Amino acid sequence: MLIVYKGAGNHSNRLFQAIHFEAFCLENELAYLNPSFKDMADYFGLEQRIWHKPFCTILQNLNKVKLLKGLDCSDDGEQQSYEETIKNKKRVLVKGWNFRVFDLTAKFQDYFVKKYSLLPIYYQNNTLYRRISKMDRNIQVVVGVHIRRGDYRSWQDGKYFFSDDVYQEYMNSLRIKLEQSFKKPVFIIFSNEDVSIAEKENVILSRNDWYIDQFLMSQCDYLIGPPSTFTLWASYIGKVRYFHFEDDQTQVDLDNFQYCIG
């Protein structure tokens, strides 16, 4: 049995952490348990026990004083060692971010899409969701624009922190490409801060909680933004093409869009 006792990072990181560990368990017929997921489980209708939170707290405290014999999958380049340890132990407690089995998250994608899709109760009466649902995809193309701020001011020395003008120019570039395909683009802005880009006929600002925003992003046809697992998860769960830009050159080529496989 594999037990995830500590989540890695924010919401999206924890989702990716979960599917890589679980995909490995599915492939090798190992039991899987993730009590660290308790605070997010309700969004997806996943069963969690009342003892999960205190259980994880105890294990994390034991880990701090080095009394826990768990597997820390935080080192890059140790994948083979991690896999051998998990398969050879009857029960293993795991944490960490760097356990990766992309071939298996691709193989079991449909399983994870079903398991980790947001429950309809959270979005079925949402105004923006209803608006998106009514769009004619034969004529319109829905583009989710992820404007990432917050910790991006300092993360990697602000390498991926861009002004609204840069996002606007990327939108303009993509609009031209899509209109050449005789499609009318509609841009939906998703951000964790206020933006200066104004709403208009083909530009919509989402003002929802993170889990609804991420679901709405998964309903788009294209996603653009700086490198972020938030965008990647929306791509994976919705099978939506995404493009991560890493500079302010503001040029977009439709051939550069791809699907996240995990």
Each residue of 119-131: pLDDT tens digit? Answer: 999 999 999 999 9
* pLDDT higher than threshold 80 for residue 101: yes
Rg of the chain over all Cα atoms, to the nearest angstrom: 20
pLDDT at 207: 93
pLDDT at 47: 87
Q: Provide the pLDDT confidence category of residue 68 given band limits of 50, 70 and 90.
A: confident
* pLDDT higher than threshold 80 for residue 3: yes
Confirm if 211 and 11 have CB atoms less than 8 A apart: yes
pLDDT at 50: 85
Q: Provide the pLDDT confidence category of residue 150 given band limits of 50, 70 and 90.
A: confident
Q: List alpha helices for 147-224, DSSP H.
A: 164-179, 210-218
Q: Provide the pLDDT confidence category of residue 262 given band limits of 50, 70 and 90.
A: very high
Average pLDDT estimate for 85-110: 97
- 39: phi > 0 → left, psi -120 to 50 → alpha, else beta; which? alpha
Assign domain 120-259 to its CATH superfamily: Glycogen Phosphorylase B; (3.40.50.2000)
Average pLDDT estimate for 133-138: 93
* pLDDT higher than threshold 80 for residue 65: no
Q: Provide the pLDDT confidence category of residue 224 given band limits of 50, 70 and 90.
A: very high
pLDDT at 217: 98
User: Which residues have a Cβ under 8 Å from the Cβ of 50 and sit 6 or more positions away?
Assistant: none
pLDDT at 59: 84
3-class SS at 231?
A: helix
pLDDT at 242: 98
